[in-house]
């Protein structure tokens, strides 16, 4: 059985449900099921296989259901409902989160991000999951995202993101298994964080600077021209006065 979650959109229509840490939950370990819904005055109710198991009041639009000392009985389909606090009316519900519990083995795969962990938006990024067994199938998870999972082909465990966006940023991990009866699941890789930087819009700023510079030059030129015209008028008036005085005095 392969772990599968459903992609949900952040909005008012659905409750967001995801597992932390993502992937297969280790037998005897612990995990947190997150339920998120941006609404107030209600309660989160967690169901497994259609049966109500836990209820929590939200904190900041989120509830965290801790599952510890996990046994195989914790495996199964989980859903989360957001209900009205007074009458239990369901305001919203999540899609299904399939939780798989297995005994995990080593070694763990190695995740790498190329060319580097911090890139600018629009850059190309390669995510590579390296594992010792070529027949294994590996999965890539993005922490805190519902249903964000990529399946790596067994022949080339790489994922190419040609133009990364800020939404691609976050902490990634990969986990591998060998398909047999029963399947063998391995410890997930260490988390690696991809940081996507957004470059500021320089075009409008440069244009404003050029416009201000041009406007300043225009003002200075206009003032200079006005001064030249004024000086010309003063000189012309002075010459006219001088000629008028000389004509009245006559020759000495």
The answer to whether residues 142 and 97 belong to one domain is no
In 10 A of CB 25, how many CB atoms? 22
The answer to whether residues 23 and 95 belong to one domain is yes
Q: What is the pLDDT of residue 15?
A: 93
237-251 average pLDDT score: 49
Structure tokens at 116: 């580097």
Q: What is the pLDDT of residue 203?
A: 42
Residue finishing a domain among 102, 130, 152 = 102
Do residues 131 and 109 make contact, with C-beta atoms less than 8 angstroms apart?
Answer: yes
> Considering its fold, how many domains does the chain have in total?
2
In 10 A of CB 130, how many CB atoms? 14
> Residue 183 domain-assigned?
yes
Q: Band of the pLDDT at 3, cuts 50, 70, 90?
A: very low
Q: Band of the pLDDT at 105, cuts 50, 70, 90?
A: very high
2 or 103, which is more confident: 103
Q: Is this model's pTM higher than 0.75 or not? A: no
> Residue 182 domain-assigned?
yes
10 or 3, which is more confident: 3
The answer to whether residues 97 and 111 belong to one domain is no
Residue ranges making up the domain that contains 144: 104-197
The answer to whether residues 19 and 85 belong to one domain is yes
103-129 average pLDDT score: 92
CA 170, 82, 13, 39: dihedral to nearest 10 degrees? -80
Q: Measuring CA to CA, which residue among 193, 67, 39 is closest to residue 16?
A: 39
Structure tokens at 166: 């800020």
Q: Band of the pLDDT at 4, cuts 50, 70, 90?
A: very low
The answer to whether residues 192 and 155 belong to one domain is yes
Share of the chain above pLDDT 90, in %: 49
CA distances from 63 to 34, 43, 67, 96, 205 (A): 6, 9, 13, 16, 43
What does the pLDDT look like over 26-46, one tens digit per residue? Answer: 999 999 999 999 887 889 999
The domain that contains 20 carries what CATH number? 2.60.40.10
Lowest mean pLDDT among 157-161, 209-213, 220-224, 240-244: 209-213
Residue 239 above 50 pLDDT? yes
Q: What angle do CA 63, 67, 70 make, to 5 degrees?
A: 165
The answer to whether residues 37 and 20 belong to one domain is yes
> Residue 89 domain-assigned?
yes
Residue finishing a domain among 70, 102, 134 = 102
Q: What is the pLDDT of residue 209?
A: 43
Residue 57's Cβ-side half-sphere holds a number of Cα atoms within 13 Å equal to: 3
Residue finishing a domain among 74, 102, 130 = 102
Q: What is the pLDDT of residue 246?
A: 43
**What DSSP assignment string belongs to 76-143?**
EEEEEEEEETTT--EEEEE--EEE-EE-EESPPPEEEEES-SEEETT--EEEEEE-S-TT-EEEEEET
């Amino acid at each position: 059985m392969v772990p599968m979650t459903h992609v949900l959109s952040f909005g008012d229509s659905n409750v967001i449900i995801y597992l932390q840490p993502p992937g297969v939950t280790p037998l005897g370990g612990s995990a947190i099921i997150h339920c998120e819904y941006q609404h107030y005055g209600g309660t989160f109710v967690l169901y497994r296989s259609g049966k109500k198991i836990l209820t929590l009041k939200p904190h900041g639009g989120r509830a965290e259901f801790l599952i510890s000392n996990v046994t195989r009985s914790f495996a199964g389909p989980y859903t989360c409902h957001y209900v009205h606090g007074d009458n239990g009316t369901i305001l919203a519900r999540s899609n299904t989160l399939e939780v798989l519990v297995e005994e995990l083995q080593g070694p763990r795969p190695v995740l790498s991000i190329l060319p580097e962990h911090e890139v600018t938006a629009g850059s190309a990024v390669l995510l590579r999951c390296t594992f010792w067994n070529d027949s294994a199938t590996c999965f890539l998870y993005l922490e805190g995202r519902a249903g964000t999972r990529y399946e790596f082909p067994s022949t080339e465990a790489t994922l190419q993101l040609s133009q990364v966006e800020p939404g691609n940023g976050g902490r990634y991990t990969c986990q591998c298994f060998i398909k047999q009866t029963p399947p063998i699941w391995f410890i997930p890789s260490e988390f690696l964080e991809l940081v996507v930087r957004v470059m500021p819009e320089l075009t409008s700023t440069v244009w404003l600077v050029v416009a201000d510079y041009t406007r300043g030059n225009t003002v200075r030129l206009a003032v200079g021209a006005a001064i030249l015209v004024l000086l010309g008028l003063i000189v012309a008036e002075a010459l006219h006065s001088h000629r008028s005085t000389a004509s009245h005095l006559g020759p000495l």
